[in-house]
Amino acid sequence: MANQNESIFTNLPYVSPQLTPAVQEQAGGASINDLKELVIGSGNKSLHANQEGFWMGAERFADAPLSFDMLGNGILKSITAEDYIQAGGAAADINTHTTTVSGGKLTDDTVTSAKAKLAMKGWTMTNALTAIAADKVGWGAGEIRTSDGTVYSIAAGDTGVMAARTFIYLDLGVSQTALQVTTTAANAIGDGKLLVATAINGTGEAQFEVFSGVGGMNIPGTSIVAGSITGNEVAANTITANKLSVASLSAIAADLGTITAGNITLNTSGFIRGGQTDFNTGNGFYLGYSVGAYKFSVGNSATGQSLTYDGVVMRLNGVSLSNEHIFGSGIDGAFDLDGVNTYAGFFSKVGNVYTQLVDLYFTTLIVRNGCTWITNGFRWFGKTKLTIEAGGKACWDGNNGVSGQNGTSSYTVDALGGAGGAALTSQSLAGSVAGKDGGYGAHIPGSGGYGGAGIAGGAGVAGSSVSNSFQSSFTGTSGNGGNGGSAFADGIGSPAAGGGAGAAGAGGTLTSASKIRPYCVQFAVEMLDKFPGAALAYLTYNAGYGGGGGGGSGTSAYKTGYGQSPGGGGGAGGGSGSGGGTMVGCCREIVNNGTISCVGGNGGNGGNGVNGQNGGPSAPYGGGGGAGGGGGRGGPGGVIVLVYASLSGSGTISVAAGVCGTGGTGGLKGTAYTGYTPTYDGVAGANGVTPAAATAGKIITFEI
């Protein structure tokens, strides 16, 4: 190595021993042989040479990014573009200046994520992928976060319809917020790109795989190698019944314990049995297919103690359970009540109304729209089916009461009360008692020019009682008539009272309770009260209501020496309706889209009272108004018994009471003549009473 005074350049090839004039000037004119260290520039722009070697970019040899020792060994630590430029290099030369540095020259763990391209960075993603369809995968909004902390907010999107494997990636050259898709793998990689997932269309649902973050994998069963999943991969007690769909469970050999099944369908070779070896063979049970039909048997075939169904007939101990003893044999055949067909001996027919004449045993019976079948107190039995169309009707309804007459203007003739609804005549079954007549409306009082006090209206007729009823109680009356209006009358009283209200007829009573209550099929079909020492009697339910009371007449006003102003006559009471009858019907299948009814008849309205006459010069005082008659009560509902295996349809079944008649309106008062003093007006007649609602009947049904 050269001594301290020896120039370092003497040991370096191609170095001139002479300093340039500029260097000599800077060095104070000294020659190179006089220098211990050569320094050109300062700081990171300096160039140094001494006995250690040659270096640049630092004040000390050890700190220099680029140096050569006295043996000619070059040392490159690090140099940036900025260092290069500050050392005198031109910026334009940076891209053309090439320096090769091997990985062995780098300090461990010194290259950070921030210095790496996107494709080289670690990352995670929060966008969740889902299989939208068999050919489409979508993702929700989320973010991609790289290892250097950079966050890209990614919007929701989808692959669109896929026909091949699709690559899902982030391309910063296209968008920092939207994922891109391509079917060309090479398009999804590169320095500014990040491949995040792949997806491919399937038959049931799309398949996808996410490489980092949420989303995971969606692998259709078709992509799993057949037979590759064993019991070891399945958690205990995780396979539910709705996940099993197999053609045969023959491979299962186990004690199945308690089985809760939705559907068990046996084919023609299947059966469930215990004890019995075939249908009705042995002691035990059998359920399965045998000799051309599905059959069932339980019991002991040897002793005959058994219940069997052979595909046609159900038998108990060998006896058919066809229920023909309830539904009948169907001996009378089929009936179609369409308004055209006639069935002599079974029905009478008027227009579209068929009235039953005997107990009926049909196979099928249809009541067409617009047609009415009146059962008329006879039973009916259907072996197969009864159909009542919408607008069709099967009934035995009570009859309506008649409205009372309005008051009269006669001094002798009363207004007639309305007639009660006619009774339903008992046949095989009990009918109903008749409704009752309303009371009369009182005539005008006084005659021959003399006044008179009002006359009371007539009472309604009391309702009929019944015996052998299985009803617990029966009460109620029709409406009372109103009081007639008063008026002033010399010599009679000042003023004289109007005629009193006619009382409503009292309701009938239940004179005896039945010994039989029809709440089992046998008694309900017979509807007879049977007890020792007494004759058979019809079972009944409701009694009858009385008629409405008549209205009293108004007082005829009278002035001595002048004459009278007649009062008004009272309106008559309305008749009550008769009750609904009894219907018993048994049919295997009943389809009712129309009406089945045994409703009570409506009550008649009370008649209106007549106005009192106004006063005049010859009779200055006004007459009293006649009162309105009471309304007749609606008839009570009847009884319907239905026995069936099936009852359906949107129609109605009704045993409602009939609608009550309204009370009549009282007549207006007569006003006094204003040319005479003092003046006395009459008083208006009172309105008749509208009765309370009547009692409904009873519906009894048996599903067998």
- Whole-number pLDDT of residue 103: 58
Are both 90 and 125 inside the same structural domain? no
d(CA 47, CA 68): 12
Its domain, for residue 316, covers 279-320
- Whole-number pLDDT of residue 108: 77
208 close to 215: Cβ distance less than 8 angstroms: yes
- Whole-number pLDDT of residue 9: 36
Instruction: Divide the 704 residues of the chain into consecutive groups of 10 and give the mean pLDDT of each group.
Output: 35 42 51 65 80 82 81 68 48 45 66 82 89 90 91 93 93 93 92 91 87 73 65 68 58 61 78 90 90 88 83 71 77 97 97 98 98 98 97 98 97 96 97 97 83 93 96 91 89 80 95 92 92 84 97 93 92 98 97 98 98 94 96 98 96 98 98 91 96 96 92
Order of strands, edge to edge, in the sheet holding 53-56? 38-40, 47-49, 53-56, 66-69, 74-76
At 10 the three-state DSSP class reads: helix
Pair of tokens at residue 575: 């008749």
Are both 13 and 138 inside the same structural domain? no
Asked whether residue 248 is assigned to any structural domain, the reply reads no
Are both 623 and 533 inside the same structural domain? yes
Are both 559 and 687 inside the same structural domain? yes
Asked whether residue 469 is assigned to any structural domain, the reply reads yes
Residue where a domain stops, chosen among 40, 73, 102: 102
- Whole-number pLDDT of residue 3: 38
Asked whether residue 109 is assigned to any structural domain, the reply reads no
Asked whether residue 111 is assigned to any structural domain, the reply reads no
d(CA 432, CA 542): 8
How many structural domains comprise the chain? 5
Are both 308 and 337 inside the same structural domain? no
Are both 422 and 521 inside the same structural domain? yes
- Whole-number pLDDT of residue 662: 98
Residue where a domain stops, chosen among 192, 219, 246: 219
Are both 476 and 614 inside the same structural domain? yes
Are both 94 and 214 inside the same structural domain? no
Which single residue is written with the structure tokens 């250690």?
52
* Identity at 575, one-letter amino acid code: G
Here the CATH number for the domain that contains residue 204 is 2.60.40
End-to-end CA distance of the chain: 128
Asked whether residue 386 is assigned to any structural domain, the reply reads yes
Asked whether residue 174 is assigned to any structural domain, the reply reads yes
Q: Which helix (H) or strand (E) holds 25?
A: helix 21-26
Burial of 243 (0-12, 13-18, 19+ CB in 10 A): exposed
Residue where a domain stops, chosen among 395, 417, 434: 395
Which single residue is written with the structure tokens 């009750």?
579
Q: Which residues contact 605 (CB under 8 A, 6 or more apart)?
A: 403, 404, 418, 574, 631, 632, 661, 662, 663, 664
Are both 486 and 534 inside the same structural domain? yes
Pair of tokens at residue 537: 């009697």
The count of other CB atoms within 10 Å of the CB of residue 293 is: 12
Are both 626 and 489 inside the same structural domain? yes
* Residue positions counted in the chain: 704
Are both 418 and 492 inside the same structural domain? yes
Asked whether residue 507 is assigned to any structural domain, the reply reads yes
Asked whether residue 89 is assigned to any structural domain, the reply reads yes
Cα 32 from chain centroid (whole Å): 110
* pLDDT digit string, tens, across residues 124-148: 999 888 889 989 999 989 999 998 8
Are both 366 and 409 inside the same structural domain? no
